[in-house]
C-alpha cells in the first residue's frame, strides 16, 4: 500500500502542475490538453493499481 502511494506521488505532482499551468495561462494549455493528460494519468494510475493488486 505504501508502495502504491509512492507511485501515485509523481502522478499527483503532474496533475497539479497541469492545473497550475492552466490557471497561469489558459490559452497556452487548452481544455482538450488538460482532459487528455487527465485521461492518460488515470490509465497510468489504474495500471499501477492493478500491478500492486496482482502481487
Q: Are 11 and 41 in contact (CB under 8 A)?
A: yes
What was the pLDDT predicted at 51?
77
Looking from the CA of 47 toward its CB, the CA atoms found within 13 Å total 7
Give the pLDDT of residue 22.
Answer: 66
**Chain segment 1-55, per-residue pLDDT in tens:** 566 666 667 777 777 777 776 666 666 556 656 666 667 777 777 787 777 787 6
* Model confidence, pTM: 0.32
pLDDT at position 46, please?
78
Amino acid at each position: 500500500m505504501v508502495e502504491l502511494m509512492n507511485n501515485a506521488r509523481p502522478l499527483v505532482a503532474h496533475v497539479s502542475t497541469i492545473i497550475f499551468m492552466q490557471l497561469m495561462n489558459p490559452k497556452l494549455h487548452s481544455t482538450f490538453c488538460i482532459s487528455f493528460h487527465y485521461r492518460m494519468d488515470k490509465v497510468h494510475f489504474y495500471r499501477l493499481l492493478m500491478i500492486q493488486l496482482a502481487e
